[in-house]
Structure 1
């Protein structure tokens, strides 16, 4: 069991928390409530929305089964990273800022006094962002910006130290990248199999044929033996 020391008044972590959280005193209560909602629920939901948009775009790509597998891994990786954070919190047992410094912060949300390191919200949003970035640069960069904003909000709300957020970012990134080769080795054959069955719309977007009658898979070319690129991708293969 490892315990991080309670940050004193002179520590960088406490200095940053006290200054960032202090901004709440100069903002209207409605703005504080909105930022608190975004930090607790809104930004993670927006990250999931970007994940869904990345999936819609992946279905239209020539390498759709591979790209969809990448999007699927982004979502799974976020869950895996959260699970990995459970033993991390149990080992570190770091008090949250509002617990270590009672009455000295404007706590903007009712929060459990559980372990502070690492931040679940930072872990989740960064895992999604890294996974999406491997598939779609535009949505991935937007997801990265959301993750950064989420990290700021968790400090602003008084529920995390900056190093809690950095630790969450590191955990989310490591879980997504290090486990990606194994995950993709399983998910790519799965999505190729789905593309050939009744669940093909999950993997392949449908588009109207030239005659206007019926529909053909927009990415059916990936199943043709004369077209390479149907195997497990590298990071460059996934990014668009």
Structure 2
């Protein structure tokens, strides 16, 4: 390919052509599917995975309030970390000012039009990996699935011809760094809030499902003991 000849021995550009070249040989319906998945689908799947992890965690009524609050705080941090990572990427993009690959190299199969911003680092890869690693901190099994989806997202961005492989790798590194480096501070700030919500009679269900006591839901800690004392007072009267 002419583009490969112009790329010289740059492994980043060569890998870009190798991966994007698959799009030229694939049927149109497959490319359209990858376009949707890489642009919207995988990010939506990761958000739904966070929701599923929250639902799975809160339905275990046997865990303590402190454990439930810690898990909830970690889950809340995952999307917050993705947002922080994107904000951190704004000055990085402005400093590096790397053009999109289709502006610099000929012969690419570009599946998404209208990309005029800078290329390094990939916002999609940053968000996806931040969500995946954030999930891993909260729940290992869900996190492994999330990281797997993030890796697929990175592949799709190169396949679509809108990012270099190093743009994706940079996004993975940025998302991971933000989650792990700021996790102690975020957990320290979010856990007390989650504990307060867990103790709330109205909003406590957001953190965990309450255990059922003789057909009635224990809305607050110690509800069974208070109910027993009330029944004893009624009998004494």
TM-score band (shorter)?
0.7 to 0.9
Asked whether the equivalents of residues 70 and 131 of structure 1 are also in contact (C-alpha less than 8 Å), the reply is: yes
Distance in 1 (CA, whole Å) between partners of 2:31 and 2:133 is 29
Aligned counterparts, 1:127-146, within 5 A: 127-146=130-149
Aligned counterparts, 1:40-119, within 5 A: 40-61=39-60, 62=63, 63-101=67-105, 103-119=106-122
Distance in 2 (CA, whole Å) between partners of 1:26 and 1:119 is 25
Q: Deviating runs (4+, > 3 A) in structure 1? A: none
Unaligned runs of 5+ in 1: 1-6, 222-240
Equivalent position of 1:37 in the other structure = 36
Asked whether the equivalents of residues 97 and 161 of structure 1 are also in contact (C-alpha less than 8 Å), the reply is: yes
TM-superposition CA deviations, 1:7-66 (whole Å, max 9, x none): 934311111111111111221100100011100000010010111111112223511111
Distance in 2 (CA, whole Å) between partners of 1:119 and 1:220 is 46
Higher helix share: 2
SS at match of 1:42: helix
Equivalent position of 1:195 in the other structure = 198
TM-score (normalizing by structure 2) = 0.85
RMSD value, Cα: 1.7
2:218 corresponds to which of 216, 219, 237: 216
Number of residues of Structure 1 aligned to a counterpart in Structure 2:
211
CA apart distance, 1:203? 1.0
Distance in 2 (CA, whole Å) between partners of 1:96 and 1:220 is 56
CA apart distance, 1:95? 1.0
Asked whether the equivalents of residues 59 and 65 of structure 1 are also in contact (C-alpha less than 8 Å), the reply is: no
- Larger radius of gyration, structure 1 or 2? 2
CA apart distance, 1:204? 1.6
Unaligned runs of 5+ in 2: 1-5, 223-237
Asked whether the equivalents of residues 43 and 150 of structure 1 are also in contact (C-alpha less than 8 Å), the reply is: yes
Aligned counterparts, 1:175-190, within 5 A: 175-190=178-193
**Residue 154 (str. 1) matches residue 153 (str. 2):** no
Equivalent position of 2:232 in the other structure = none
